[in-house]
Amino acid sequence: MEALILQVLNGLDKGSAYALIALGLTLIFGTLGVVNFAHGALFMIGAFCAVTLNRLLTLSHIVVDETQKDFLGNPLNVEVPYLYDFFGQAAGDVIIDWSVPISILVAIPVMMLIGVAMERGLIKHFYKRPHADQILVTFGLAIVLQEIIKYFYGANPIPTPAPSAFTGSFDFGAALGFDPNLIIYPYWRLVYFAFAAVIIGAVFAFLQFTTFGMVVRAGMQDRETVGLLGIHIDRRFTIMFGLAAAVAGLAGVMYTPINSPNYHMGMDFLVLSFVVVVVGGMGSLGGAVLAGFLLGVLESFASMGQVLEVLPGLNQVILYVVAIIVLLTRPRGLMGRRGVMED
């Protein structure tokens, strides 16, 4: 029982990450009809926004400490962040400690800008091209982006911890009346879950309740008619691309404390996010979110030791098994619309 509750929690948290990434991807699919293989790269760049801000905040000047020796026996160069000079050590430490949440503020404009630049500079020219060409060009772009990151940051993962206030975990078990320590969950993951819920809600509200969103939704249904009505749909689509990039980027920023970011984390998530989107059904935002949570929960169950004893290797293939079953029983995924990317 406790084990199941725990895995549901786990699954919801995993699912929130999947849903967030898939949401951005399906926004681009749905609005622009573009297969964006560079979406994982956007997620990765978001994570590196956090890394970069952390680097900037800890930008240091060197003070030579004669009392300590470095590995070659020379006096040790101690790095002192400039932040200490401005705010004093205590306040400086707090700012550095909170660098991940602070990066959200940086990441939104940066990612919007990257998204808009990408759409105007490259994607725009591929609306009328076959999907194969879109795949090739966005895949090429993804490689270029991740190689640039690798050039500057190396291939090793870079630790980017959450603020120390969020270390440790919350004891759900004790709160629900079970024995302590049975159902625990890290604070940061709870924050991630809440954050994902807010972002997903905001995107839906934006599309549902604003005129802008209404036009975009209309454009997703029938781009030509909206154009004929004299609405400048292209500019709105550009903004949507920026928005999708920002959603992917924010998912990346908040993910950094969970997994230390590295340059190929985007590729690691790429296949997964496509599976989520397709299981949810092409062109359906709700489907993407639903599929994200569904796959997250099922993946968590499949990773339980008791399950693996019966079906060894299930944790290796669960996502794909679910994808195959869903696609065979529901031809267009959970909530897909007819005729979207079926040819």
State in angstroms the smallest separation of the CB of 230 from another protein. 29
First to last CA, the chain: 45
Q: Specify the stretch interacting with another protein by CB under 8 A; choose among 88-96, 112-120, 221-229, 265-273.
A: 265-273
Query: Interface residues for another protein in 284-303 (CB under 8 A)?
Result: 299-300, 303
The only residue of 59, 64, 68, 91 in contact with another protein, by rule CB under 8 A: 68
Residues touching another protein: how many (CB under 8 A)?
A: 95
The smaller minimum CB distance to another protein, of residues 17 and 199, is found at 17
Binders of another protein among residues 29 to 48 (CB under 8 A) are 35
Specify whether the CB–CB gap between 86 and 92 falls below 8 A.
yes
Cβ neighbourhood burial of 299 (10 Å; 0-12, 13-18, 19+): buried
Residue 251 near residue 21, CB atoms below 8 Å: yes
The yes or no reply on residue 332 touching another protein (CB under 8 A) is yes
**Least distance in Å: CB of 38 to another protein?**
10
**250 counts as binding another protein under rule CB under 8 A:** no
At 123, list the tokens.
Answer: 């994607």
Shortest Å distance, C-beta 71 to another protein:
5
> Smaller CB distance to another protein: residue 75 or 88?
75
Burial label, 308 (beta-carbon count in 10 A; 0-12, 13-18, 19+):
middle
Please report which residue ranges of the chain form alpha helices under DSSP H: 2-32, 39-57, 82-97, 99-121, 131-153, 172-176, 187-209, 211-221, 223-228, 233-255, 265-280, 285-302, 305-310, 314-329
Per CB under 8 A, 177 contacts another protein: no
Nearer to another protein by Cβ, of 226 and 274: the residue is 274
Asked if 342 interacts with another protein (CB under 8 A), we say yes
| b (16+ CB within 10 A) / e for 110-140 | bbbebbbebbeeebeebeeeeeeebeebbbe
Q: Which one of 140, 212, 227, 229 is in contact with another protein (CB under 8 A)? A: 140
Considering only 109, 159, 201, 227, the residue that binds another protein (CB under 8 A) is: 159
Under rule CB under 8 A, residue 227 binds another protein: no
Nearer to another protein, 10 or 238 (CB): 10
Applying CB under 8 A, the span of 89-97, 108-116, 230-238, 307-315 interacting with another protein comes to 307-315
- Quickly tell me which residue has 């992917």 as its tokens: 248
Question: 66 and 77 in contact (C-beta within 8 Å)?
Answer: no
